[in-house]
Structure 1
């Protein structure tokens, strides 16, 4: 396989990148989730997710590092795709127990992933990630203008 020369590809328009970012949010199965604890110790794990059109829903055990970090700080970065076509979301997470979770969210999450955390171990909780910044780029020429959302508002 011939490596792709990222300098030779024409940059996509912001509108095309937004469209493709939304497709990725809708159709990808997993996301890399980056958090840190109070001392700054990083944690990076892949998790299943569901995009409701405005927010990203995650589920993990509240007792593991990611769950503890999200519950404590609410700060999270999500990475969709791969290094040559990435969508990064900087957001704030809100913790919801199974009892607090809207039934339709739990049902949609389970339908997309084929796994229902509500029926798994009791330590599973849900996190609603509200995007604050969304960036999308695939090549060096796309670095400029990669921010498509700022302060939770689409720029394109």
Structure 2
């Protein structure tokens, strides 16, 4: 089966995909967060996020599976958008307690969605995710060249 690109003008350039990926990171409210435990048991949940221009900030309880997995391995995959316009980030996460996160980060995170984890249950912590690989594509015609960042460095 051949998938026809439904975008007017065909596949986007890498520069256009980077621009649109950055717009999505600034605009979207939620992200799918994929982690795994030490045995490989996967966990996939939607979380609110905030993009600071370089890293993605998440908050969840350190006692739930996602929090435990992030604390243990620091490895995460984030999926923004939908299957016909996806931004996929492979990243490393570092944990910060409510007391460790700066007021600027906590305030910006809370302002984006109206929820402040610092005022919620004490088990909420923050995770700062540094992208190592970022890919963006729509349909099969954009699979080539979908990697826009590798080893934390933009390729475009």
- Root-mean-square deviation (CA, aligned residues, Å) is 0.8
The aligned counterpart of 2:95 is: 95
Question: Using the alignment, how far apart are the partners of 1:114 and 1:36 within structure 2?
Answer: 29
Question: Using the alignment, how far apart are the partners of 1:146 and 1:92 within structure 2?
Answer: 20
Question: Using the alignment, how far apart are the partners of 2:149 and 2:49 within structure 1?
Answer: 20
Question: Using the alignment, how far apart are the partners of 2:6 and 2:152 within structure 1?
Answer: 32
Question: Using the alignment, how far apart are the partners of 2:23 and 2:50 within structure 1?
Answer: 12
Cα deviations across residues 54-86 of structure 1 (Å, max 9, x unaligned)? 000000000000000000000000000000000
The aligned counterpart of 2:84 is: 84
Question: Using the alignment, how far apart are the partners of 2:35 and 2:117 within structure 1?
Answer: 20
Shift of 1:8: 4.6
Question: Using the alignment, how far apart are the partners of 1:6 and 1:86 within structure 2?
Answer: 17
The aligned counterpart of 1:70 is: 70
Question: Using the alignment, how far apart are the partners of 1:115 and 1:128 within structure 2?
Answer: 17
Question: Using the alignment, how far apart are the partners of 1:145 and 1:78 within structure 2?
Answer: 19
Question: Using the alignment, how far apart are the partners of 2:6 and 2:28 within structure 1?
Answer: 27
SS at match of 1:77: strand
The aligned counterpart of 1:7 is: 5
User: Which consecutive segments of 4 or more residues in structure 1 shift more than 6 A?
Assistant: none
Q: Is the 8 A contact 2:5 2:11 kept in 1?
A: no
The aligned counterpart of 2:136 is: 136
The aligned counterpart of 2:116 is: 116
TM-score computed with the length of structure 1 as normaliser: 0.96
Question: Using the alignment, how far apart are the partners of 1:95 and 1:20 within structure 2?
Answer: 28
The aligned counterpart of 2:106 is: 106
Which runs of no fewer than 5 residues in structure 1 stay unpaired?
none
Aligned pairs, number = 152
